[in-house]
Amino acid sequence: MKCLLINLIVFVTAVNNSDTRKPLFLPQLPVGIYRLNFLGVTRCVSVQINEKIKFQYYLSKKSANKTEIKGNCTNKIPIDDSLNLEFNLAVKDSIGGWKENAYLYKSPKACSTLKMFLGDAWIPVMKGSGFQNFSCPLPAGFYEVTGIDTDLFSTANFPKTLFYGTYRFRFSYTKKDEVYGCFIIVVEIKRPWETNN
């Protein structure tokens, strides 16, 4: 009996101290820390665009769990602080439609604001976008995006907690209510332990 009790205590202690086990409590709260799962990148078609800044981005799977943004960007004008930066997030509802304007953000000084939002990801994103100059303004020209690892955006200065779900993130440069360039990224905001299925 003594031997059985000692074996039981050793077994329970070993199981409780195991680092390889998954946490048993995985809360299903609607908001919290998250990880990003990129689903798509496309041009804006629903807004009237001047196309002084033309984005042609797409997602490319590098491996089973690595995704990159590739494509090109043609700037007929420099991206500087005379432009405004606008974010418009639509959230996917329970029946598959989009609820527009879930989050809105508009800021003057587009280049400086973008640099602030990207934070530590600024230089790797600029390198991946083909820019040789990493300070504002970003000069006019044609830039080939050879591959921006989407994991870089986890180091950016975005909010660290969000409501979970699927979002359509419209990113645009504007000036005097005229859209100069626009593209859309569709992302899933997932709980850290959720899979990509």
Q: Which residues pair with 172 in a beta bridge?
A: 86, 182
Q: Tell me: the pLDDT tens digits for 33-49?
A: 999 999 999 999 877 77
Region for 134 from its dihedrals, namely left if φ exceeds 0, alpha if ψ lies in -120 to 50, beta otherwise: alpha
End-to-end CA distance of the chain: 48
Indicate if the pLDDT at residue 7 is higher than 70. no
Residue that has been written with the tokens 């959720």 in this structure: 194
Q: Give per-residue pLDDT as tens, 99-133.
A: 999 999 999 999 999 999 999 999 999 999 999 88
**The predicted structure's pLDDT at residue 2:** 56
- d(CA 27, CA 191) in angstroms, rounded, equals 9
pLDDT of residue 115: 96
| Global confidence as pTM | 0.81
